[in-house]
Structure 1
Amino acid sequence: MREIKFRGMVINGEWCCGNLSIIKKRIKSMGIDPGSYISNKAGVPFAYRVRPETVGQFIGLKDKNGREIYEGDSILYDRNIAPSIDSRKYVVKWEYSKFVLTNSSETIDDFTSDIIEVIGNIYENPELLEGAE
């Protein structure tokens, strides 16, 4: 079974990973405002408020370099390892109950992590989207 965790960008621009909580209304007794929060296993008060648009789920795989892959990551197929595939950029997305790699011309829903490399993400590196969306 894969580990369920999320990544999100904290308001100051740093990234954090852990459990996701979405607070819909203010919790006065704890001083918590509505928003998206990522915390470690200890939970509140060790939670970081994150930008909701940057939240992405860990897909349960690591790339060829051992880096965890999250929804919203920009991916490059390694042409040297998979010569039958052109080196192309993709974005990791959740579609129809599964994670896929997608770009403007195709969607790959069956892939192995040993031939792909995380090269950035759509939030910090929007220029990588050229050719990927």
Structure 2
Amino acid sequence: MREIEYRGWDSHNKRWVYGLLLMDAKGHYRIQYDPRRFSVIVDPDSIGEYTGIKDENDKKIYEGDTCEVVKMYPTYGKYFQTDDAYSAERIICVCSFIDGAFRIRRKYLNRRGEEKFEEGSIKKCKVIGNIYENPELLKTE
């Protein structure tokens, strides 16, 4: 069973808090970061669920994280693919919850904004920021 954890931005103390997601009687979203009872109100737009996956540096990947991934593409010869014929591309993606699953996507790739990744095509994944603190990572030239 995977660990259930949420992350949210505590705008009062200007920090990320991690823990259980709650809603109080006034409709505010809170993160309970201490098992005894301590919780703080968080910005609802910043809330992200832990995916259950860690990056290559053992850092937890949350919904809304911006990741740099290395995608491998097969390189074909004239008529067939050779064993070591792969080329790599570094791309910036965002972790999102789409159609009941955590997926990584890049907004500027196509009209739907989704990248299709075949199993085994991602060789490296590193968290480099998130869409709340680092929106400039998603800008195209």
Superposition TM-score, scaled by structure 1 size: 0.79
* Structure of greater Rg: 2
Distance 1:111 1:43 in 2: 41
2:29 equivalent in structure 1 = 36
Aligned alpha-carbon RMSD (Å) = 2.3
> What is the percent sequence identity of the aligned residues?
33
Instruction: Please identify runs of 4+ aligned residues in structure 1 that moved more than 2 A.
Output: 106-114
Distance 2:53 2:92 in 1: 18
Distance 2:22 2:40 in 1: 10
Q: Which has the higher strand share?
A: 2
The answer to whether the aligner puts 1:49 opposite 2:49 as a matched pair is: no
Long gaps (5+) in structure 1: 27-33
Q: Please say if residues 10 and 16 of structure 2, whose CA atoms lie closer than 8 Å, have aligned partners that are also in contact.
A: yes
Distance 1:43 1:130 in 2: 42
- Which one of the candidate residues 62, 77, 89 is aligned to 1:70? 62
Amino acid across the alignment from 1:127: E
Superposition TM-score, scaled by structure 2 size: 0.75
Count of residue correspondences: 120
Q: Which has the higher helix share?
A: 1
